[in-house]
Structure 1
């Protein structure tokens, strides 16, 4: 077998369908994603990334990297083996890294804040109380989203300079070949060179990979999936449970070069 070689480039708009499908395949056996797909409005990860990636590519504070299969000889396929979405906090446009193939979207102007409405002596019309959420999947998403917001307020308040993993997926076809580690190494080297930290909210299956790349667990959110499950796991027999799923908030601290 010919030796594999990785080429890290910028993900492009033309890569979006393949990247979205890659993510859906990579998370097909992820327990939380699998359970969310059993709801009355099944969660579709392929659709999510098809809709999200184009806007992320236009974001000047986002860098999306792909690893391309460039094995020597006849084995080279040019496939996107995996990709990682890096977010940047506190960096000016000229400080953003240069990546081969990245279109370098223009810096977005600070959006003008909407002016407050004129105060009135009349009491505003009261808003109706929101209906209790009956969809257990939406309750799960609200719980994890609130926890993420609390983490971000704590980890990167105003003025913080850091980078963070928005998402990372490796094709099942190429897992176990160091693709994820190569994508993370790009970010940890940036941290070392710039004296900033990186963080990630790791999925249950991926946290050991992050650990091998130097990320340390800071805290965790342990979710009992069966509290939010719309139904028992299908095709797993009587009494089957979804079980617990742990989201781990992890940090990489820069090392002196």
Structure 2
């Protein structure tokens, strides 16, 4: 049996639901994401993933890539690349109309939306998770201002996810190489704000850690880890580390 192959191309708005689904599932084993979900309205995390995909597609200074299985065209992964001081080239893929509309569900069905809002009760202690989100976001923004001041030539990863069913087939590496090869051709450096699980993959592609943020999740959590098989019999969430990693262009 021949080895599956995958094509990298630019995503469009019609891909948002599938990319949002993959992004949500990809974080099932990420303790930081699962801890935040416990303090959110049901479905909010998935909605946020889809909104994030849409914002990357619509941004004039970013490219959202999709990896599709050449056997049946299924989207199996995605990756966002932002850029400064350079231009990135990505084919539009299957959907030449990059500005097409996708179906919205919050327009005319006012009764349904209002009913959902009325039934939702704020989760006790959830404000602590919001404080953690604000802290980590500020840390990231401060790093961004330092690492890519005005006049910089760089690209940066806004997120990479691969459908868990397709792990181990080199899809993540394909998505990363698309960006690093562009960076090398244009003499630009690249950087990533890596999750705890992702940094070894980026290290393999030439990224080196330059800074990190470590925090104790139990100081922010609304409760202990769920007993759903993902976290086993853990009583505490434990520490989590975000790593900031930079790659210099090869051949510059």
What is the TM-score of this pair, normalised by structure 1?
Answer: 0.80
SS of 1:7 mapped into structure 2: strand
Write out aligned runs for 1:1-257 (5 A).
1-39=1-39, 41=41, 44-70=44-70, 76-91=71-86, 95-101=87-93, 135-235=127-227, 240-256=235-251
How many residues get paired? 223
Cα distance in 2 for partners of 1:39, 1:51 equals 19
Q: C-alpha displacement at 1:55, in angstroms?
A: 3.0
Cα distance in 2 for partners of 1:56, 1:210 equals 21
SS of 2:168 mapped into structure 1: coil
Change (3 A) 1:211 1:244: same
Cα distance in 1 for partners of 2:83, 2:77 equals 20
Q: C-alpha displacement at 1:96, in angstroms?
A: 3.4
What is the TM-score of this pair, normalised by structure 2?
Answer: 0.82
Higher helix share: 2
Further displaced range: 31-40 or 232-241: 232-241
Cα distance in 2 for partners of 1:2, 1:21 equals 28
Which runs of 5 or more structure 1 residues have no equivalent in the other structure? 71-75, 107-132
User: Would you say the 8 A contact 2:191–2:245 is kept in 1?
Assistant: yes
Cα distance in 2 for partners of 1:166, 1:96 equals 15
Change (3 A) 1:226 1:180: same
SS of 2:211 mapped into structure 1: strand
- Deviation string 1:105-144 (CA, Å, 9 cap, x unpaired) is 79xxxxxxxxxxxxxxxxxxxxxxxxxx971110110110
Which runs of 5 or more structure 2 residues have no equivalent in the other structure? 100-124
